[in-house]
Amino acid sequence: MTPAGRLAFGLAAAVLAADQAVKAWILYGLNLPLRLSVEVLGPLRLTMVWNEGVSFGFLQARHDLARWGLTVFALLVALALAAWARQADRRLLGVSLGLIIGGAVGNAIDRARFGAVADFIDVSALGFFPWVFNIADSAITIGVILMLLDSFRRETPPAR
């Protein structure tokens, strides 16, 4: 495995651990499902939303077949990205793959456990972003952006 691949797997594990730890605190420590919403600071609120759809609530999946289909799809994507990560030769690509893998697995765990993804980060008071999201969603989004940036990098031929 390449150094970028090891970076990807380490980052995926860190994202997954952080995502699941914060979700456990939100659900059982803060007990947000009963409180529904808590002001934090400025435009940031913690608001409990059970997302049965894909990212940011698109394509709602309220049937078990769709739930498990989305779970399996996320895990297959994570496995395909993990295979790619093993061969990754650029640090930025490793970071992007790690973020996406960790986020995809984190949300897949929610779907398998709860039938929906636990979303709670709410910055809708800013006025331009109405969706409630979580750490896994953030990691996936940042990972995709970094992957796009990496794709625009010019390949430099190895020195001879």
Q: Which residues are catalytic?
A: 119, 137
Alpha carbons 22 and 43: distance in angstroms, whole number:
20
Alpha carbons 123 and 45: distance in angstroms, whole number:
6
Distances (CA, A) of 97 to 94, 106, 131, 142, 149: 5, 14, 24, 10, 13
Residue position matching structure tokens 């594990």: 13
